[in-house]
Amino acid sequence: MADTSILEELQARGLVHSVTAQEELDKLMQNEVVSFYIGFDPTSTSLHAGSLLQIATMARLQRAGHKPFALIGVNSDPKERVLEAIEYVGLGIEAIGVVVIAAGIVWGLVAWVKDRARLDDSSEIFRNCRQRIGRSLVLGLEILVAADIIHTVAIEPTLENIGALGVLILVRTFVNWTLVLDLEDRWPWQKPAQ
């Protein structure tokens, strides 16, 4: 097989299933160093014959002057890595929502202590504290809904998950509306009183 290209050799050995733009790929592999990867699942109980074929193919490509990368991990598939990154983004947004709620509660309570020292009207102190905590709850709930949407739509868009998301959004929206009603004495779609 001395007069054949590495791609033709792999095809002759039955190691290539399908190729897009075969002529361009063959020219590229003959004229440049091509980086490639082969992924292995570490959760598997052992390597098998298919793994040996991958390793042998990797060795052939490396002897032909190309650059191999052996990826060991569950998410060696680029699509899986993107989904994992999106999941981390969703978790980060959830964390932000929780921090906003917790910080709002702390802020409301610290302001309550300060108001107690300077104001005499206990109803005004209570109302101010409630307003601060309520606003942080409204904002935190909005952020948590965004995280739920990212998780459900981007990561696991099954009919069951989308239905559960719909129910969750309805509940959180209702809670949000009742908070706005309680804080501002109006529904969110009504204009503020002048």
Give residue limits of the domains in the chain.
6-72, 78-184
Is this prediction's pTM over 0.85? no
Q: What residues does 69 pair with on adjacent strands?
A: 37
Report the C-alpha dihedral over residues 152, 156, 158, 163, rounded to 10 degrees. Answer: -20
Q: What is the mean pLDDT of each run of 10 residues along the chain (194 residues)?
A: 78 86 90 85 74 85 89 67 84 95 93 86 84 89 88 81 87 83 78 76
Helices (H), the chain: 6-12, 22-31, 49-63, 78-118, 122-149, 159-184
Dist. CA 162–CA 148, nearest whole Å = 10
122-160 tens-digit pLDDT:
888 888 888 889 889 889 988 998 888 888 877 777 888
CB 65 within 8 A of CB 36: no
